[in-house]
Amino acid sequence: MSRRHVPLKEGCTRVARVIVGYDRPLETFFAQAIAINADGQEDCLIWQGTYPGELPTPRSAIALIEPYCDVPEDLAKQLETDRLATLAQADGPNQQAAKRALIIGEAEPPRPKPGG
């Protein structure tokens, strides 16, 4: 997984930090905009890219954070490079189990029926 902190726009007080990146197991880019509430706790104003394929392109993630950030000109290229760097990686057993649980609510792989 890649994580890139993006500089906030000058005068932007609504958020404390913004992060974008690529999540290889979920095959999606993601975007987070995090604010600090009155109690000093973190609140996510934006947290997208938590489902498989939800944000398929760097631009889809960047579009979500643009209101808060001075987006570097080469950020989309950096994110695509992050994605390309993961192409030879495969899911391990734990990632496979997590995907099954996330996508279809199945904690264990299907097992053959006895006698069948």
Q: What are the extents of the domains in the chain? A: 4-104
Q: What is the pLDDT of residue 3?
A: 95
Q: What is the mean pLDDT of the segment spanning 81-98?
A: 84
Q: Is 78 helix (H, G, I), strand (E, B) or coil?
A: helix
- Say if CB 78 and CB 61 are below 8 A apart: no
Q: What is the pLDDT of residue 54?
A: 95
Structural Rg of the chain based on CA atoms: 18
pTM recorded for the entire structure: 0.79
- Say if CB 68 and CB 15 are below 8 A apart: yes
- Say if CB 48 and CB 64 are below 8 A apart: yes
